[in-house]
C-alpha cells in the first residue's frame, strides 16, 4: 500500500512539473533585476557592524584558457550569533518568478543559512535553507514549518560557486541546484514582498550573481501613452511573440551572394579582411584597432521593425567588445555588443560619446566566441521601445533614444574574427 501511494505521489509530481514546464514555455521570462557586482547596485548594502561585514571583492579567474575579472559581494559573520541582512529589492510574490543566486559558502557543513522570500516580516516568510553541501525548505507562519527536510545534494560543490534557483509557477515552487531540478512543492505562499539572508555565526558567503526575473503571459491589444514604470507593465505592451502580436508587412533577407559584394563597405585599415564567400560575410581584423563594416540604405527607422542577425564569433581577444550596429550614419549609431565572456550590452555611439540602454549582462552562455554554433541577435523596435534578444530569449527592454541613419553593420575589435550567415529585416504593424 505504501509503495502504491509513493508511486502515485511520484506520478502526480511528474504531472505537475510537466504542466508547469509547458506553462513556462508559453510565458516569456524577463530579467527584472540582475546584479553581477561589477559596480555598486541598489539592494546590497556595504556595512560593518556587530560582527557582520559586507564588501565588494574582485579577483582574476585564471582557471581556463582566458583570464577574466570576477566581481563578488562578500558577506562575513564573525559574531557568535546569526545575522540578518535585508536585500533592498521588492519581490512581486504573487507573480510567477525566478530567483537565482550564485554563492560560495564557507562555514559549518552541518548547519544551514537561510534565504527568505515572499516575506512580510520575521514571523511570516518562505525560507530556503542552504549551505555548501545541501538544502532544505520551510515556511514561517508564527512558527517554523519544515516542508523539505534538510538533505545533502551531490551536485553541489563544497569549494566552488553553486547556482541556487527558486522558481514559482502557479502555486508550485521548483528548486534547482546548478541548473538541475532537485525538488518541487505545492501550496506556495505569498506573505509579502521582502527578501533577506540569515547568515550563521562564523560563516562567509560570497555572491557572484543575484537575479530576479518574472514569467509573463503576454496580453495582446493593450496599449496606452502612460509612462511604463517597470517590466511588468512593459511585458503587456511591447510585442515579444510574433504570432500573438503583429502582422508582417514586408521582409528582406541578406544572404550574402556574390551580387552583394559591392553593397558592403569597410574602413580602409591594413590588416582587415572583409569578404563574401560561400554565402557568408567573413570579417577578420588584425589592424590594431576596432573597425567598421557596413551597408547603407538598409533600414527604415520610422517603422516598427525587427532585425535578426545569424552569426558566429570565431575568435576574439579577452574582454573585447564586438557589436552589430543599426540605424546610424558616419557619426552615430545604435550598437548591440557582446564579448568572449558571454556578456552582452546595448548602447549608442555618437562621436565616441556613449549612452547605455543596458550595461554588460550575462546571457547564460559561458563563451559567445569560439563556438561553432550560430548565435541569433535580435533587435525589435515597437513604437518607443527596443526589445533586445539573444537566441530568442529577452535580455532587456529599453526606451528608444532618437538617432538618425539607415546603416546596418558590424564593429569588430582588433584580433576578432566573425562570420555572418544571414540578416533578416521585418517590418510589422
For 14-111, where are the E strands, in sequence order?
28-35, 48-49, 52-61, 68-77, 83-87, 96-106
pLDDT in tens, the chain (429 residues): 444 544 444 444 444 444 444 444 345 556 567 777 866 556 788 899 999 999 988 877 666 555 567 789 999 999 999 999 998 888 888 888 889 999 999 999 899 999 999 988 888 999 999 988 899 999 988 888 899 998 888 888 888 899 999 988 877 888 989 888 888 888 788 888 899 999 999 999 999 989 888 775 433 333 333 332 344 344 444 444 443 334 445 556 666 665 555 677 777 667 777 888 778 888 888 888 888 888 887 888 888 888 888 888 888 876 788 888 888 777 778 888 887 666 777 777 765 566 777 676 666 554 567 666 778 888 888 777 788 877 767 777 777 777 778 888 898 888 888 888 888 888 876
Q: For 269-331, give the secondary structure using H, E and C.
A: CCCEEEEEECCEEEEEECCCCCEEEEECCCCCCCCEEEEEEEEEEEECCCCCCEEEEEEECCC
Beta-bridge mates of residue 158 = none
Q: Can you tell me the distance from the alpha carbon of 126 to that of 119, in angstroms, rounded to the nearest whole number?
A: 6
Q: Which residue has the cell 501613452?
A: 225
Distance CA 256, CA 272 (A): 19
Q: Which three cell numbers stand for residue 235?
A: 511585458
Short-list 231, 249, 243, 230, CA closest to 304: 249
Query: In the CATH scheme, what is the code of domain 242-428?
Result: 2.60.120.200
* Cell output for 50: 556587530
For the entire predicted model, the pTM comes to: 0.50
Q: CA–CA separation, 338 vs 325, rounded Å?
A: 12
Tally of helices (H runs) and strands (E runs) in the chain: 3, 30
Q: What angle (nearest 5°) sits at the alpha carbon of residue 391, between those of residues 397 and 319?
A: 80
The tally of CA atoms less than 13 A away on the side-chain side of residue 294 is 25
Homologous superfamily, domain 28-215: Exo-inulinase; domain 1 (2.60.120.560)
Name 157's Cβ contacts closer than 8 Å, sequence gap at least 6.
132, 178
Q: How far apart are CA 81 and CA 143, in angstroms?
A: 20
Q: Coil, strand or helix: which one is 184? A: strand
Name the grid cell of 133: 553541501
Contacts of 237 (CB under 8 A, 6+ apart): 222, 223, 224, 228, 385
335, 388 in Cβ contact below 8 A? no
Residue whose grid cell is 566566441: 369
CA 212-214-219 angle, 5° bins? 160
pLDDT tens digit sequence for 346-383: 777 765 566 777 676 666 554 567 666 778 888 888 77
Fold: same for 28-215 and 242-428: yes
In the numeric block, which cell numbers belong to residue 145? 514549518
385 vs 322: CA distance, rounded Å? 23
pLDDT digits (tens, 9 = 90+) for 137-173: 999 888 888 999 988 888 888 888 999 999 888 778 8
What cell does 302 get? 520610422
Which of these, 306, 329, 312, 300, lies nearest to 409 by C-alpha position? 329
Q: Can you give the residue ranges of every domain in the chain?
A: 28-215, 242-428
Which residues, 6 or more positions from 158, have their beta carbon under 8 angstroms from its beta carbon? 109, 132, 133
Amino acid at each position: 500500500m505504501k509503495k502504491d501511494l509513493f508511486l502515485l505521489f511520484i506520478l502526480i509530481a511528474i504531472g505537475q512539473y510537466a504542466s508547469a514546464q509547458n506553462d513556462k514555455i508559453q510565458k516569456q521570462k524577463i530579467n527584472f533585476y540582475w546584479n553581477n557586482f561589477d559596480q555598486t547596485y541598489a539592494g546590497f548594502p556595504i556595512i560593518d557592524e556587530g560582527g557582520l561585514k559586507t564588501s565588494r571583492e574582485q579577483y582574476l579567474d585564471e582557471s581556463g584558457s582566458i583570464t577574466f575579472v570576477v566581481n563578488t559581494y562578500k558577506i562575513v559573520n564573525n559574531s557568535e550569533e546569526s545575522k540578518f541582512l535585508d536585500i533592498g529589492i521588492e519581490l512581486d510574490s504573487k507573480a510567477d518568478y525566478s530567483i537565482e543566486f550564485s554563492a560560495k559558502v564557507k562555514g559549518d557543513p552541518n548547519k544551514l543559512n537561510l534565504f527568505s522570500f515572499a516575506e512580510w516580516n520575521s514571523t511570516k516568510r518562505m525560507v530556503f535553507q542552504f549551505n555548501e553541501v545541501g538544502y532544505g525548505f520551510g515556511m514561517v507562519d508564527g512558527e517554523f514549518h519544515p516542508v523539505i527536510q534538510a538533505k545533502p545534494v551531490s551536485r553541489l560543490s563544497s569549494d566552488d560557486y553553486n547556482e541556487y534557483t527558486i522558481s514559482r509557477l502557479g502555486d508550485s515552487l521548483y528548486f534547482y541546484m546548478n541548473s538541475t531540478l532537485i525538488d518541487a512543492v505545492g501550496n506556495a505562499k505569498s506573505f509579502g514582498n521582502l527578501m533577506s539572508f540569515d547568515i550563521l555565526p562564523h560563516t562567509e558567503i560570497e555572491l557572484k550573481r543575484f537575479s530576479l526575473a518574472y514569467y509573463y503571459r503576454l496580453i495582446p491589444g493593450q496599449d496606452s501613452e502612460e509612462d511604463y514604470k517597470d517590466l511588468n507593465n512593459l511585458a503587456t505592451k511591447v510585442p515579444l511573440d510574433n504570432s500573438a502580436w503583429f502582422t508582417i508587412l514586408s521582409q528582406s533577407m541578406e544572404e550574402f551572394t556574390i551580387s552583394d559584394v559591392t553593397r558592403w563597405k569597410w574602413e580602409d585599415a591594413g590588416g582587415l579582411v572583409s569578404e563574401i564567400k560561400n554565402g557568408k560575410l567573413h570579417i577578420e581584423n588584425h589592424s590594431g584597432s576596432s573597425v567598421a563594416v557596413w551597408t547603407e540604405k538598409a533600414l527604415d527607422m520610422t517603422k516598427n521593425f525587427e532585425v535578426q542577425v545569424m552569426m558566429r564569433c570565431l575568435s576574439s581577444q579577452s574582454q573585447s567588445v564586438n557589436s552589430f550596429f543599426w540605424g546610424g550614419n558616419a557619426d552615430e549609431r545604435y550598437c548591440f555588443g557582446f564579448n568572449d565572456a558571454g556578456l552582452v550590452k546595448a548602447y549608442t555611439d555618437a562621436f565616441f560619446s556613449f549612452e547605455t540602454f543596458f550595461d554588460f549582462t550575462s546571457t547564460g552562455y559561458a563563451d559567445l566566441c569560439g563556438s561553432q554554433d550560430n548565435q541569433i541577435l535580435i533587435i525589435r523596435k515597437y513604437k518607443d521601445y527596443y526589445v533586445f534578444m539573444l537566441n530568442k530569449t529577452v535580455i532587456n527592454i529599453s526606451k528608444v533614444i532618437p538617432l538618425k541613419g539607415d546603416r546596418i553593420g558590424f564593429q569588430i575589435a582588433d584580433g576578432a574574427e566573425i562570420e555572418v550567415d544571414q540578416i533578416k529585416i521585418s517590418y510589422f504593424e
